[in-house]
Structure 1
């Protein structure tokens, strides 16, 4: 939402009255971009809610929340942890034990989310999964079965040392949590408690509510970096680069599940650039206008003006920003003998449409 891919437009939602920009590039990264995350995850929230409705009313299945985590230390590298976690998840679903379990619970697929935080023990990747299983399944019995298989998978993936008695005891207590008969509100409501998981419209805001004992969401690291925290900025960059390097996906559906639910598959990039809202185009910004808005860090201020006063308020704001720029430009100590373009500007303003640059030369005013 910085680089134009056409002419930048200012639009206002007909239903909510909220203003937003058009004609700007989006990345579609819901893991490392808070702007795209807010939009994409709202669209994903609707899809997930549709999956719950399908499970209860069409397929007559039980949505079960399964949270899987593992031990981690401050010195562990996030890249290596993600690769080991990925291997453990594959091992969990490999072989006769998994086939036996899925047959017993009438397993029909899952929706899995990757969540990563940074706390006192370093990076903490973990997954939250909703399994669609038979109505006869009891959460407490399933937790015992999953814990046994998850422990074996983590040992084989190098995430758990079976000789470390203390860590194994903690693993047995915290590594797996299963909650039966989940409602979409349980699944979508963000909470500081890791027994619940959220990916709804308030994800970015909810993530910042995580306390230091639970860990900081990467977007919270980004916010701290904006306040001057250099270490937080370095951690955020490391996180973003690792997500790109590992090609991690924030959300995964079992193959074929979206089709059964009746959802058309779309990439995050498509959702980030898609406009579904009915909106009025208030006006178009010139390239010079957009440069001015960015340079003065007034993107949010311009949208506020559009919401409260429409296009006249936007133009008034642009005039004020341009005037502030002109006032900050100091005239040269000595007028040059010759300048390209008009040679003088009246004291009453700038009717010629030209303005003086920092070097003393006159340039055409973009405003």
Structure 2
């Protein structure tokens, strides 16, 4: 046994084929279908409150992006498809409205540039800001948080400061409820960091604070939450200082696990410490992530895949989209409940102001609400937006075409998918009140 089993997660051993809704207030809704431009049948709008049979697996039979797709576009396609699934199955109301519900009279399609790339996106929509749950909001928030970490630590190292990359993972086994393992991990870190031995080390080593990021995967042995913690020091530590500190941390983690009634696990796995420097300090582990860099390793859990057969939560959601297996859906529902109210990335008090004194701090909601820059290409009223939003493929096609050809590209997509352009206006038309008909939503 590798861990403690306070409660069962509720995921059965069998591979059941009919999902149980998370609450009695949720009801199933029959799926309807329509045909795209080629005449093939695809899934239409399923009520976000429920599912019907295996409609999702039929729709997501080809979940992955096309071979050869550039990474930027591929990730964007996958996020859009995941968010479409999330709206249908989530128990969180804000996730159901994210990128779906207009904030005003119309949705605006903007065209701009990101670096040397033309981009387009729909604005004027609600955003949930759920870093744990929403594939699109998570990407925006984690990108910004990763940039902040990279900038702050880079400045600190340039000023001859030091940092250690500490990873904490607790033993676990199949059947351990995610909420219980999360709670144990949080309490473990609190016990280690608040103890008198750690406080002595803090003073002796000049520890200024830390940046903590929590991640979670699921695999053969159940849920696996773990913490990546950047310990920031006034100066670069000597080899003897950081190796002694690493040994002390491992001993304290084992002692805390024992105090919490948990299996103490193995040295070298439950707690590891790597020095960070301006060269190869994080060695192979840091450079394995899909987009290299310390900030990404700490903050961008949305870019990672599970290791050694494990799956990230977004991979679980993607697998459910393809197979419709209820075990995966129940794992996702458990994940939604267990992460509610928890911080994914947190700076210790005063550290951010110390490392980034000239950078204003934004909340997750503020970052998620930021919209595509550029010029408006089209204004879309509610009835027209309903015709576009129902299929993520149509929505993405509109964005990609508008990025290249603006208004003309949008019209070509609407024609291809046999979608009426009624209720869609150019910026010039929208500026003239007599030209606009605001149809009932």
The TM-score by the shorter chain falls in which range? 0.7 to 0.9
Q: Please name the residue that 2:156 is paired with.
A: 55
Of 177, 181, 205 in structure 2, the residue corresponding to residue 77 of structure 1 is 177
CA contact (8 A) 2:131 2:137 kept: yes
Q: 1:184 to 1:313 in 2, by over 3 A?
A: farther
Normalising by structure 2, we get a TM-score of 0.65
SS in structure 2 at match of 1:285 = strand
Partners in 2 of 1:149 and 1:242 — Cα distance? 26
Q: 1:159 to 1:91 in 2, by over 3 A?
A: same
Q: Please name the residue that 2:411 is paired with.
A: 315
Q: 1:237 to 1:151 in 2, by over 3 A?
A: same
Gaps of 5+ in 2: 1-98, 422-437
SS in structure 1 at match of 2:124 = strand
CA contact (8 A) 1:190 1:203 kept: no
CA contact (8 A) 2:129 2:138 kept: yes
Deviation string 1:140-174 (CA, Å, 9 cap, x unpaired) is 222101101111122222332xxxxxxx4x42231
Q: Please name the residue that 1:21 is paired with.
A: 122
Q: Please name the residue that 1:12 is paired with.
A: 111
CA contact (8 A) 1:45 1:200 kept: yes
Alignment of 1:119-138 (within 5 A): 119-133=219-233, 134-138=235-239
Q: Please name the residue that 1:345 is paired with.
A: none
Q: 1:201 to 1:90 in 2, by over 3 A?
A: closer
SS in structure 1 at match of 2:171 = coil
Deviation string 1:165-187 (CA, Å, 9 cap, x unpaired) is xxx4x422311111112459949
Q: Please name the residue that 1:225 is paired with.
A: 320
Gaps of 5+ in 1: 161-167, 326-363
Alignment of 1:337-348 (within 5 A): none
Partners in 2 of 1:100 and 1:299 — Cα distance? 56
CA RMSD for the aligned pairs?
Answer: 2.7
Alignment of 1:265-280 (within 5 A): 265-275=361-371, 278-280=373-375
Deviation string 1:312-341 (CA, Å, 9 cap, x unpaired) is 22123224434599xxxxxxxxxxxxxxxx
SS in structure 2 at match of 1:265 = coil
Q: 1:154 to 1:198 in 2, by over 3 A?
A: farther
Q: 1:202 to 1:105 in 2, by over 3 A?
A: closer
Q: Please name the residue that 1:293 is paired with.
A: 388
Q: Please name the residue that 1:144 is paired with.
A: 247
1:256 is aligned to 2:256: no
1:153 is aligned to 2:251: no
State the number of aligned residues: 310
> Displacement of 1:267 after TM fit?
0.9
Partners in 2 of 1:172 and 1:201 — Cα distance? 25
Partners in 1 of 2:279 and 2:309 — Cα distance? 24
Q: 1:289 to 1:189 in 2, by over 3 A?
A: farther
Partners in 1 of 2:373 and 2:299 — Cα distance? 19
> Displacement of 1:221 after TM fit?
0.7
Normalising by structure 1, we get a TM-score of 0.77
Q: 1:10 to 1:266 in 2, by over 3 A?
A: same
Of 85, 89, 93 in structure 1, the residue corresponding to residue 189 of structure 2 is 89
CA contact (8 A) 2:141 2:367 kept: yes
Partners in 2 of 1:116 and 1:220 — Cα distance? 12
1:2 is aligned to 2:110: no
Partners in 1 of 2:412 and 2:279 — Cα distance? 45
Q: Please name the residue that 2:304 is paired with.
A: 207
Partners in 2 of 1:131 and 1:125 — Cα distance? 19
Q: 1:268 to 1:57 in 2, by over 3 A?
A: same
Q: Please name the residue that 2:56 is paired with.
A: none
> Displacement of 1:189 after TM fit?
5.1
SS in structure 1 at match of 2:267 = helix
Q: Please name the residue that 1:344 is paired with.
A: none
Q: Please name the residue that 1:177 is paired with.
A: 272
